[in-house]
A and B are shown apart, each in its own frame.
Chain A
């Protein structure tokens, strides 16, 4: 579309100026500021601080949580999406609503919900005592918090693609005598793989980034329930700034890598979907 007339040219420059200032002040300058500040404190010192036992342990906890969240959400998200898009059953729209809910509510408040259930004096405390299971302030607490906040991503992505591509191919496979298992592996999975990848990358990003829920349920005990984000928080409180900046920069770099992966998966998914619409 070409721009007609002169007055809109000035308006255009002004609008671009406003948008770039906005993005610069809120996003880009803060990111560059973190890099520069870590440089001033000393890159060497900041990254050496991450070799400290507590820091490595926090990173390892985050890594464990990533593995758990990815495995669980790959299964639950795929099964949930297929059920919601392909099946008709009682409670279907309710299930869909539950999947979306973690996007809408504060992790701190849901963390509180779990505290009320499994914390001291909670409703389920007697049951946990019988089972001799410690959930609060243990790795289980971190796991529950992480699984809650990462619930929506794979389901939403996979469901979106399943809806777009329709069910003809799967029906054809079934009619030709493929078992449900074969249909899934040979037809459905290849179709949803980029959507699943996108959802899982979002799951990783969310797992790394979660703070409120894991703080409430884990308590950020150094060496036990401290994750990468709660490590940063504690390091700032204790004025261990090189460690805080080093870890922040590490997580920021990791998110940028994840972002590149997300952009790639988004492009692949788009290509795959648009390839289908042209006969």
Chain B
């Protein structure tokens, strides 16, 4: 290993220094600003600001919808990866491309699309309303929108792992008399579980901060469909940055913890976060 052959020259070091400054200024400084302002008036003030009924209701709504979405994503995302890797479904390439669509489409447009399809003006929305199923301006709409924006995370994490599973192991399990269920449990599950989990945590983190797709479909009704990011936005708009900073500070810490855990799992499985 002749690392010294590529030892950075002086100009490379200068470029690197500028990059470091740029990245720190763009990422670290605003992050620290939020954390600083959330703790500026002490822990008691922080607690008071996040424990107003409307703030608590919005954080709770965001938390439980995000957890449901993460769980659904793990199950349905793994199923999707399974179908894509193992079955020769007609139009497989098209399905695979469609899965990346949420990475390319503006989340606000995703919200508009869902609001149209499940809204009162469409026939599907009307018939669902007839059954008493409310999607637009209801928590179910929030779940649908979050499922849309997080759709690739689990699929793209599990897919490469599934491709790597040795067919001989599966064959061996079957020859030893294992049924499809036992084969899945003993051969596949240990391999895909960390990947599915990391994708699920990515979905959770993303769902906790999602804004664009929810603004349109949720209707932002306090105590009903007002999510934490929308609440934070409202507080910024109405000139209460200290409340916004308090709620943001708590959610940012949570997001960073989830990010670190997901990265740990990704390093173990060699999977990559689907946002790239």
Once the chains bind, are A106 and B109 in contact (CB under 8 Å)?
Answer: no
Looking at the assembled complex, report how far the CB atom of B198 sits from the nearest CB atom of chain A, in whole angstroms.
13
Closest to A106 in B: B209
Once the chains bind, are A212 and B114 in contact (CB under 8 Å)?
Answer: no
Chain A residues lying within 8 Å of B258, measured Cβ to Cβ, are 104
Once the chains bind, are A255 and B255 in contact (CB under 8 Å)?
Answer: no
A135 within 8 A of B: no
The DSSP consensus for interface residues of chain B is helix
A49 within 8 A of B: no
* 8 Å CB contact of A22 from B5, B76, B109: B76
Once the chains bind, are B98 and A27 in contact (CB under 8 Å)?
Answer: yes
Once the chains bind, are A37 and B97 in contact (CB under 8 Å)?
Answer: no
Looking at the assembled complex, report how far the CB atom of A209 sits from the nearest CB atom of chain B, in whole angstroms.
3
* 8 Å CB contact of B5 from A152, A175, A255: A175
B83 within 8 A of A: yes
Bound together, the chains give a CA A259 to CA B209 distance in angstroms of 24
Looking at the assembled complex, report how far the CB atom of A147 sits from the nearest CB atom of chain B, in whole angstroms.
6
Bound together, the chains give a CA A91 to CA B205 distance in angstroms of 25
A67 within 8 A of B: no
A interface residue count range (under 10 / 10 to 19 / 20 to 34 / 35 or more): 35 or more
Which of B23, B30, B31, B106 lies at the interface centre, i.e. has the most chain A CB atoms within 10 A of its CB? B106
* 8 Å CB contact of A30 from B99, B113, B174: B113
B273 within 8 A of A: yes
Which A196-251 residues have C-beta < 8 A from chain B? 199, 202, 205, 208-212, 215-216, 228-229, 232-233, 236, 244-245, 248, 251
* 8 Å CB contact of A4 from B22, B23, B114, B174: B174
Looking at the assembled complex, report how far the CB atom of B255 sits from the nearest CB atom of chain A, in whole angstroms.
5
Closest to A119 in B: B241
Chain B residues lying within 8 Å of A23, measured Cβ to Cβ, are 80, 95, 98-99
Binds B, one of A6-14, A51-59, A125-133, A271-279: A6-14
B2 within 8 A of A: yes
Chain B residues lying within 8 Å of A189, measured Cβ to Cβ, are none
Once the chains bind, are A232 and B30 in contact (CB under 8 Å)?
Answer: no
Once the chains bind, are A26 and B147 in contact (CB under 8 Å)?
Answer: yes
B265 within 8 A of A: no
Which of B19, B151, B258 lies at the interface centre, i.e. has the most chain A CB atoms within 10 A of its CB? B19
Interface size (B, Cβ < 8 Å)?
Answer: 93
Once the chains bind, are A34 and B112 in contact (CB under 8 Å)?
Answer: yes
Chain A residues lying within 8 Å of B20, measured Cβ to Cβ, are 91, 95
* 8 Å CB contact of B97 from A76, A216, A263: A263
* 8 Å CB contact of A102 from B3, B27, B151, B208: B27
Chain A residues lying within 8 Å of B120, measured Cβ to Cβ, are none
A123 within 8 A of B: yes
Bound together, the chains give a CA A111 to CA B251 distance in angstroms of 14
Which B95-148 residues have C-beta < 8 A from chain A? 95, 97-110, 112-114, 116-117, 121-122, 124, 144, 147-148
A33 within 8 A of B: yes
Looking at the assembled complex, report how far the CB atom of A14 sits from the nearest CB atom of chain B, in whole angstroms.
10
Bound together, the chains give a CA A216 to CA B212 distance in angstroms of 12
Q: Give 19 CB contacts A-B under 8 Å.
A: A1-B167, A4-B174, A23-B80, A23-B98, A87-B8, A100-B263, A104-B259, A106-B208, A109-B251, A109-B252, A112-B241, A116-B30, A116-B33, A152-B276, A180-B9, A211-B212, A228-B106, A248-B113, A262-B100
| Chain B interface (Cβ < 8 Å from any Cβ of A) | 2-3, 5-6, 8-9, 11-12, 15-16, 18-20, 22-24, 26-34, 37, 76, 79-80, 82-83, 86-87, 89, 95, 97-110, 112-114, 116-117, 121-122, 124, 144, 147-148, 151, 167, 170, 174, 179-180, 205, 208-212, 215-216, 229, 232-233, 236, 241, 244-245, 248, 251-252, 255-256, 258-259, 263, 272-273, 275-276
- 5 cross-chain pairs, A with B, having the tightest CB-CB distances, nearest first: A106-B209, A113-B30, A209-B106, A104-B259, A211-B212
Additional A-B contact list (8), CB under 8 Å, known A98-B24, A212-B211, A251-B106: A26-B144, A30-B110, A83-B12, A100-B263, A107-B211, A180-B11, A202-B275, A263-B97
